[in-house]
């Protein structure tokens, strides 16, 4: 009987962890607002992230199946915001080709998407396939120029 109780507890814990991970996947999480500096700035500039417009940077790889869905979602949201004052830029980076940048940004899984504001600060990080409405909500305020 004790073995069945232990098995039930382990199964319930596994289900709880699985549900928690599933709920977190694809969610937009606010990043700490820090200015990019040093080698991070150089690495981001090398792939096209600069301080001109908001940027969506997503890491992918040829072998990553869900990365195709990220491409579609990001392209759709960027196209929807193309008529704004500061239309966002869409940059896709191959994690195998830019391993140093991935390490610098602490990318642990694919797909991973970042949103940078027009000042080059990391504003959001999304693990998994982002939901279009969440990504649009995160990007929309960044496409309006800040008041001086």
The pLDDT tens digits for 102-129 are 999 999 999 999 999 988 899 999 999 9
- Gyration radius from the chain CA atoms: 18
Q: Are 90 and 57 in contact (CB under 8 A)?
A: no
Instruction: Return mean pLDDT, the chain.
Output: 87
Mean pLDDT across 48-56: 88
Q: Per residue in 56-100, pLDDT tens?
A: 999 999 999 999 999 999 999 999 999 999 999 999 999 999 999
Q: Which tokens belong to 138?
A: 């995160």
- Element at 16 (helix H, strand E): helix 2-24
């Amino acid at each position: 009987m004790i073995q069945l109780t232990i098995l039930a507890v382990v199964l319930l814990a596994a289900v709880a962890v699985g549900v928690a991970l599933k709920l977190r996947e694809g969610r937009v999480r606010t990043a700490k607002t820090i200015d990019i500096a040093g080698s991070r700035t150089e690495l981001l500039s090398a792939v096209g992230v600069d301080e001109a417009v908001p940027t969506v940077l997503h890491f992918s790889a040829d072998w990553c199946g869900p990365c195709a869905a990220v491409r579609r979602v990001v392209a759709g949201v960027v196209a929807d915001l193309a008529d704004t004052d500061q239309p966002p830029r869409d940059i896709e980076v191959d994690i195998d080709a830019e391993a140093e940048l991935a390490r610098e940004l602490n990318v642990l899984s694919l797909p991973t998407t970042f949103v940078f504001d027009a000042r080059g600060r990391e504003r959001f990080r999304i693990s998994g396939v982002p939901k279009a409405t969440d990504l649009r909500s995160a990007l929309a305020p960044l496409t309006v120029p800040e008041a001086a």
